[in-house]
Structure 1
Amino acid sequence: MRTLVVYESLWGNTEKVARAIADRLGRLGAVDVVDTDAAPKVVTGYDLVVVGGPTHAFSMSRPSTRGDAVKNHSAPHEPKRGIREWLNAVERSAIKVPAVAFDTRVDKPRLPGSAAKAARHELRSLGFDTSIKQKTFRVHDYAGPLLDGEEQRAADWADQLVKQTMR
């Protein structure tokens, strides 16, 4: 099994989730884990694509929300492109590759909206098999850290992904 894990992370929390997923998936085959700035536009040859990013303003981030996170909330990293821009650049695959999305969101206050749900919709429109439901992982405040146990939840979710894609 060959997997591509693409993530967008400003404070490092989404990256931690992505790496926990990739580490678990790595037990079954090759995993390429990359941030959105380095992610390939062509996904041919992958058996599974996993996409994750933070929820900003009820959806996937935009250049303006990433800039605001750096300027007003002290985010240490501002990706040049987020999952929104990466998905806009990805070439449609000739075969229906399974793809799944995840996001990170603040735990309190619980706000509506989901980057993962929006990403799943975009993945479906690109012709990916999105039959696996998206997942949310929670962080304390903007900067995090992840809530206790979230990295383990991510690894456990990766196990579920394998079972669901191998059917």
Structure 2
Amino acid sequence: MSRALVVYESMFGNTKAIAEAIGTALAAEVVEVSDAPDVLPEDVGLLVVGAPTHAFGLSRPATRKSAADQAGAELVSAGRGVREWLDALAPHGRRVTAHAFDTRLRGGWLPGSAAKAIAKRLRALHFEVPERPMSFHVTGTPGPLLVGEPARATAWARAMLTGTPA
């Protein structure tokens, strides 16, 4: 029987909260990216990956430093980011479904998305990415999440289980 794994990067805790809501709905293991395996375990059949949108895409060392300066001692992900983890992730050689999400400011005019970059990298690694990436919204750079976003994450995860569009 296959299991689900949720891997996240989070600076201020917003992406972590979304990852935990998804993990609860999927009954999945939820792992901060620094602790994520570089070789996907054989029993993982569903992978969900999320990160905050930094400078219109996935975080980089410079954007993580900026977030660390803002967060102080409250920083959640102090190690590598999702970008580096996906670069290190070994090919899996089997069918694994994957979904991508991000946290970002709400606004249709804002370009870039960490989730779109994650989905592109997952496809390049030959994961099956069946639907568009999902964004969950924060009120400002440090958050908090907009009201209702964890519930929306739960609904999105449940839709993954049934195969219905979110």
Give the AA of the match of 1:100: H
The separation in 2 between residues aligned to 1:135 and 1:65, in whole angstroms, is 21
CA RMSD of aligned residues (A): 1.5
Give the AA of the match of 1:58: F
Give the AA of the match of 1:35: E
Q: What is the match of residue 121 of structure 1?
A: 120
Counting matched residue pairs gives 160
The separation in 1 between residues aligned to 2:160 and 2:85, in whole angstroms, is 22
Q: What is the match of residue 68 of structure 2?
A: 70
Q: Which residues of 2 match residues 19-58 of structure 1 at below 5 A?
A: 19-26=20-27, 31-43=28-40, 44-58=42-56
Q: Report the alpha carbon displacement of residue 109 of structure 1 after superposing the two structures with TM.
A: 8.3
Answer yes or no: is the 8 Å Cα contact 2:8–2:50 preserved in 1: yes
Q: What is the match of residue 83 of structure 1?
A: 82
Give the AA of the match of 1:3: A
Q: Deviations over 1:48-77 (max 9, x none)?
A: 000000000100000110001122x33521
| 1:151 maps to 2:150 | yes
| 1:137 maps to 2:136 | yes
TM-score, normalization by structure 1: 0.91
Distance 1:108 1:131, change over 3 A: closer
Give the AA of the match of 1:148: V
Give unpaired runs (5+ residues) of structure 1: none
Q: What is the match of residue 98 of structure 1?
A: 97
Range that drifts further, 80-89 or 109-118: 109-118
Q: Report the alpha carbon displacement of residue 108 of structure 1 after superposing the two structures with TM.
A: 5.3
Runs of 4+ in 1 over 4 A off after TM superposition: none
- Of all paired residues, the percent bearing the same amino acid is 46
Q: Report the alpha carbon displacement of residue 147 of structure 1 after superposing the two structures with TM.
A: 0.1
Secondary structure in 2 matching 1:56: coil
Answer yes or no: is the 8 Å Cα contact 1:51–1:100 preserved in 2: yes
TM-score, normalization by structure 2: 0.91
